[in-house]
Amino acid sequence: MTQYPHLFAPLDLGFTTLKNRVLMGSMHTGLEERGDWNRVAEYYAERARGGVALMVTGGIAPNNEGGVFPGAAGLYTPEDIANHRMVTDRVHAAGGKIAMQILHAGRYAYGPECVSASPIKSPISPFPPKELDEDGIEKQIADFATAATRAREAGYDGVEVMGSEGYFINQFIAKHVNKRTDRWGGSYENRIRLPIEIVKRVRDAVGPDFIIIYRLSMIDLVPDGSTFDEVVQLARAIEDAGATIINTGIGWHEARVPTIATSVPRAGFAWVTRKLMGKVSVPIITSNRINTPEVAEELLAGGAADLVSMARPFLADAHFVAKAEAGKSAEIAPCIACNQACLDHTFSGKLTSCLVNPRACAETELMIEPATHAKTIAVVGAGPAGLSAAITAAQRGHKVTLFDRADRVGGQLHMAATIPGKEEFTGLIDWFTRQVETNGIETRLGAAATAGDVANFDEVIIATGVAPRDPQIDGQDADNVLSYIDVLLHKKPVGDRVAIIGAGGIGFDVAEYLTHDGPSPTLDIALWQKEWGVADTEEHRAGLAPEGPQPEPPARHVTLLQRKSKALGKGLGKTTGWIHRASLKMKEVTMQGGVNYERIGPEGLHVTSGETRDDPRVIAADTIVLCAGQVSDRSLADALEAQGRVPHVIGGADVAAELDAKRAIDQGTRLAARL
Ligand code: NAP
Ligand code: SF4
């Protein structure tokens, strides 16, 4: 008997049956564009082997003008069809099902050929779209139908018509972009003509026994988006047009409300899907920030949806579903919703992977195979780099001993987990802790390892991490000066007025931590909605509260500083930096760049501006927190090298600059894979 009866209930679609209620949502990985179709096929097959009922591919363009960028993957030639056939064959052989997403980017396309309902440039692409005429619209509809026919020919079990997230179809539906006065614009009936026509024509093209998922924007989160009644009207029309399943879309990409970042509460938008339940008779999928079988089961049991879509959790663990089915939920590597190796990569033109699982999208490249000779391996440092190395080495059959001076594993992850909005890091620490236990790794915690401790091991891995950089500011040894470790780990008292020296990832985190008081909005959906101005679509069009964001007042007055003169937070994550900046702005954090730190006194921080050191002033502060970056802790590595040993040095101990858990885990895993 499964722990998750609703999650593992099959779903009969009439002409085919899904073996459970889990859909792997569409993710653009960049694999298709690389042309290594064996790698694409293995990426999907691995997830099919992991038990998910139905997967949706990354967006495949119906035509050149609809591609997200010039050269984006499409399904145009017999060769394309043969390539996709490799994917579908391998997924079917693994017992899975797969639907191809047809994604037309409209004005989000990053290319001069882009088209839309009206010639209004989007804030996220520099290219103004051409307004389509009647023939142009007919061509787009026909191209959707042709793409679906080819998808069927390539062996797919269905298609997903991407109608949400502000892409092409959504641009016709909402007045936010559609300013037309012909039969494709004006009234709501006219504006939803396009999605209805597309679904009808796709159904006519593929026949009755083929899955058509329509991804419907249920809360646009942009001005002039749809109301709840309009969403219901569209959903019914889409059902009548021939869709098999309706999937939930949340927010346009240009919305100024986070929708999938780690600070969004778990299942924080499931209420949006729930409102549509009972209004149509086709199954409905809910989505966004669902990352454990427990959350998924609760949603299904509570009637929020008929299926759940999870996307990034399948990067973190391809075997999510199989592990849940086997009652091994604690073994599932958790997606922490950081975006660091998935969306941030996609939006930087890099191949997608996963911070937690470097094998994601590297299934044919990064092999974790049994070692030919079992060795004894000492790993010093139980942060992300050391943990990953230790776990991977142990999985390969090596005998691993893990040392750390702290009395628990996790290293710097413990600091991240204290930040409001970063609670998911706790799950990652729990998972690492469990992996250490289940892989039989011996731990020696609570004392710093010496060269003598690691003398008799075949291999030594040094993952001793980093130490705070000493910024050498006059007066920094006074009692009113703390390090980020004092604040986040040792919980030393902090005054009402704070100056933070350094505005990197940690400076931003400390500012977030010090301006919050009381419960974290990430753990309280109502509070989070208030903070970001999200409203019920039944009361306010597009789900935007008319009063806008209403954050809790800041707990302290914080000034965040850096010496560089450029805007603060430029180096933060590509897809999440704006959230951190917006969040601190809401907490009235003062940001100052281009400063020189002259000295610290009891009254606060003395600074000047620019190379000429003018505008001397005092930033009045009760507490000054040093977040001035980090330097490698190589003391043990140096001691071993002085003895003629050659340790493997990874993570922050190797290179401190721009260290993050992504690089640490990747480096640790890759090293252990080849030892
Ligand atoms: P960081 O990102 O390198 O930032 C260091 C900050 O200290 C910068 O603002 C820098 O700005 C300042 N600084 C450098 N040398 C200084 C000096 N001698 N005196 C005074 N200020 C100095 O490092 P971090 O904030 O310690 O973060 C460490 C790593 O953790 C980062 O690489 C980051 O990616 C990662 N992290 C990421 C996140 C995330 O949200 N993804 C969160 C936390 C940490 P100026 O040189 O302009 O003064
Ligand atoms: Fe999840 Fe982060 Fe991995 Fe992306 S990189 S799948 S957000 S854990």
The pLDDT tens digits for 528-543 are 999 999 999 999 999 9
In this predicted structure, which of 21-30, 66-75, 137-146, 191-200 has the lowest mean pLDDT?
Answer: 66-75
Catalytic hit among 167, 214, 513, 597: 167
Torsion angle in degrees (nearest 10) through CA of 143, 148, 153, 154: 100
Whose CA is closest to 164, among 103, 100, 118? 103
Q: Specify the ligand 2 atom closest to the Cα of 357.
A: 3
For 236-251, write each residue's pLDDT tens digit.
999 999 999 999 999 9
Average pLDDT over residues 63-88: 95
As a whole number of angstroms, the distance between CA 127 and CA 600 comes to 49
pLDDT at 2 exceeding the cut of 90: no
pLDDT range class, residue 152, cuts 50, 70, 90: very high
SS3 of 610-672: CCCCEEEEEEECCEEEECCCEEECCHHHHHHHHCCCCCEECHHHCCCCCCCHHHHHHHHHHHH
pLDDT at 225 exceeding the cut of 80: yes
Which ligand has the shortest distance to the CA of 510? 1
As a whole number of angstroms, the distance between CA 494 and CA 512 comes to 14
Indicate the top mutation candidate among 339, 506, 564, 596 to test ligand 1's pocket, ranked by most ligand atoms within 8 A of CB.
Answer: 506
Q: Specify the ligand 2 atom closest to the Cα of 340.
A: 5
pLDDT range class, residue 664, cuts 50, 70, 90: very high
User: Residues with Cβ within 6 A of ligand 1?
Assistant: 469, 471, 501-507, 509, 562-564, 571-573, 627-630, 658-660
Which ligand has the shortest distance to the CA of 664? 1
For 379-408, write each residue's pLDDT tens digit.
999 999 999 999 999 999 999 999 999 999
For 302-324, write each residue's pLDDT tens digit.
999 999 999 999 999 999 999 99
167 a catalytic residue: yes
pLDDT at 304: 98
pLDDT range class, residue 71, cuts 50, 70, 90: confident
pLDDT at 658 exceeding the cut of 90: no
pLDDT at 481 exceeding the cut of 80: yes
pLDDT range class, residue 585, cuts 50, 70, 90: very high
What percent of the chain is predicted at pLDDT more than 70? 100
pLDDT at 20 exceeding the cut of 90: yes
pLDDT at 1 exceeding the cut of 80: no
As a whole number of angstroms, the distance between CA 120 and CA 142 comes to 24
The residue count for the chain: 675
Is residue 655 within 8 A of residue 374, CB to CB? The reply is: no
Is residue 545 within 8 A of residue 535, CB to CB? The reply is: yes
Average pLDDT, the chain: 97
As a whole number of angstroms, the distance between CA 629 and CA 647 comes to 25
Q: Which domains, ranges and CATH numbers included, belong to the chain?
A: 11-346 (3.20.20.70), 376-467+631-674 (3.40.50.720), 470-517+552-628 (3.50.50.60)
pLDDT at 657: 82
Q: Are strands 97-102 and 130-131 parallel, antiparallel or unpaired?
A: unpaired
Q: Are strands 54-56 and 22-24 parallel, antiparallel or unpaired?
A: parallel
186-191 contacts, C-beta under 8 A, 24 or more apart? 188/230, 188/233
pLDDT range class, residue 497, cuts 50, 70, 90: very high
Which ligand has the shortest distance to the CA of 291? 2
pLDDT at 363 exceeding the cut of 80: yes
pLDDT at 516: 97
| 333 Cα–ligand 2 center, Å | 10
In the chain, the amino acid numbered 222 is: V
Indicate the top mutation candidate among 476, 562, 579 to test ligand 1's pocket, ranked by most ligand atoms within 8 A of CB.
Answer: 562
pLDDT at 660: 86
**Helix (H) or strand (E) segment spanning residue 199:** helix 193-206
Q: If you ran DSSP here, which 8-state letter would residue 553 be given? A: P
What percent of the chain is predicted at pLDDT more than 90? 97
Q: Specify the ligand 1 atom closest to the Cα of 484.
A: 26
pLDDT at 274 exceeding the cut of 80: yes
Residue nearest ligand 1's atom 17 by CA:
471
Contacts of 477 (CB under 8 A, 6+ apart): none
Is residue 386 within 8 A of residue 463, CB to CB? The reply is: yes
pLDDT at 209 exceeding the cut of 90: yes
